[in-house]
């Protein structure tokens, strides 16, 4: 799944579950659940060479930038508008947790290692990815974003 819907899920969890001891591990777990949702992403049906060249790394960076904004906007809103630093920290940590498995995997894509925790994580994640062709592979993610947005907007007040 793209990073943007992952961060929407994280922000929604951070805003709706006040206890970070529950919310942060849950947002990490929900990353894997998100990848089970049939989706299309920039790496769908690509070779390792295709992943490293051309437009795909640029698209990943753009997705990452949007994802960071999705995490930071409610964080800053909770901090500055709601004066709720606990919620702000919680949303921030859940936003990081929601993309942590992919963030850990990113350096692995650029390395050529075939053992260790990152290798295991990358293998595990690629097995847990369920691909869907366009447009369904994007529609599923739009639904994830909309549901998360409803939860987020209802919680952050």
| Residue 16: CB atoms within 10 Å | 18
CB of 26 to Zn ion, least distance (A): 16
Which residues from 65-94 bind Zn ion, rule CB under 5 A?
A: none
Angle (deg, nearest 10), helices 117-128 and 20-36: 60
Binding region for Zn ion (CB under 5 A) out of 18-26, 76-84, 122-130, 149-157? 122-130
Distance CA 41, CA 19 (A): 32
What is the token pair recorded at 40?
A: 């299309």
Helix, strand or coil for residue 131?
Answer: strand
Q: Total residues at the site for Zn ion (CB under 5 A)?
A: 4
Of 6 and 75, which CB lies nearer to Zn ion in the complex structure? 6
> Which residue is nearest to Zn ion, using beta carbons?
102
Give least dist CB 153 to Zn ion, A. 25
DSSP string of 80-97, one letter each residue = IIS--HHHHHHHHHHHHH
Binding mask 25-44 for Zn ion (x = CB under 5 A): ----------x---------
For the bound state, the minimum distance from the C-beta of residue 20 to Zn ion, rounded and expressed in Å, comes to 21
Q: Is residue 63 close enough to count as binding Zn ion by CB under 5 A?
A: no
Interacting stretch for Zn ion, rule CB under 5 A, among 86-94, 107-115, 125-133, 135-143?
A: 125-133
Q: Which is nearer to Zn ion, 35 or 63 (CB)?
A: 35
Interface with Zn ion by CB under 5 A: which range of 11-19, 37-45, 83-91, 117-125?
Answer: 117-125
Residue with tokens 């990358």: 122
Alpha-helical segments (H) within 17-84? 20-36, 48-52, 55-76
Residues 6+ apart with CB under 8 A from 106: none
The binding site for Zn ion (CB under 5 A) comprises 35, 101-102, 125
């Amino acid at each position: 799944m793209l990073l943007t819907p992952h961060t929407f899920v994280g922000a929604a969890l951070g805003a709706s579950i006040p206890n970070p001891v529950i919310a942060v591990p849950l947002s990490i777990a929900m990353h894997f659940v998100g990848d089970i949702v049939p989706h299309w992403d920039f790496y769908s049906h690509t070779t390792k060479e295709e992943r490293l060249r051309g437009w795909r790394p640029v698209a990943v960076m753009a997705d990452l930038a949007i994802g960071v904004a999705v995490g930071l906007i409610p964080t800053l809103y909770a901090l500055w508008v709601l004066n709720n630093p606990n919620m702000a920290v919680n949303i921030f940590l859940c936003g990081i947790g929601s993309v942590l498995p992919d963030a850990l995997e990113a350096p692995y894509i650029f390395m050529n290692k075939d053992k260790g925790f990152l290798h295991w994580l990358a293998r595990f994640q690629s097995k847990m990815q369920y691909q869907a062709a366009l447009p369904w592979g994007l529609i599923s993610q739009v639904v994830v974003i909309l549901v998360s947005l409803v939860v987020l907007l209802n919680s952050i007040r």
